[in-house]
Amino acid sequence: MPVMRYLRIMIRQLLLLPPLLALAACNTLSPPKPDPAQLALACQIKKCECRAPHRSFTFTADPPPKPIEWRSDGSASCPAGYELSFVE
């Protein structure tokens, strides 16, 4: 009888494994967004562009990137409705 109890426990644990792995994978698929203030300064030494925020589940093409607007302190900014992002 102890063997049957052990098998039931193991089967229950194995049934929980796939949903837990799926939740863990969903958490790691999207990298964290960089801090906008730090990104504005990083664009001084790394190539950046102003992109429209990505909308998932849309079938239209994203608008083309806009040029970066440079502030007097040397940090980068974007027009309204756009956000800074590194060029891959």
Q: How many CA atoms lie within 13 A of 27 on its CB side?
A: 6
- Rounded Cα gap, residues 16 and 21, in angstroms: 9
pLDDT band, residue 24 (cuts 50/70/90): confident
Report which of 54, 59, 51, 56 is spatially closest to residue 79, judged by C-alpha positions.
Answer: 51
Tell me the pTM.
0.55
**In the prediction, which pLDDT does 50 show?**
92
**In the prediction, which pLDDT does 13 show?**
82
- Rounded Cα gap, residues 9 and 13, in angstroms: 6
Tell me the domain boundaries of the chain: 1-30, 32-88
At 27-76, the pLDDT tens digits run 656 666 777 778 888 888 889 999 988 766 667 777 888 989 998 988 88
- Rounded to an integer, the average pLDDT of 4-27 is 80
**In the prediction, which pLDDT does 56 show?**
64
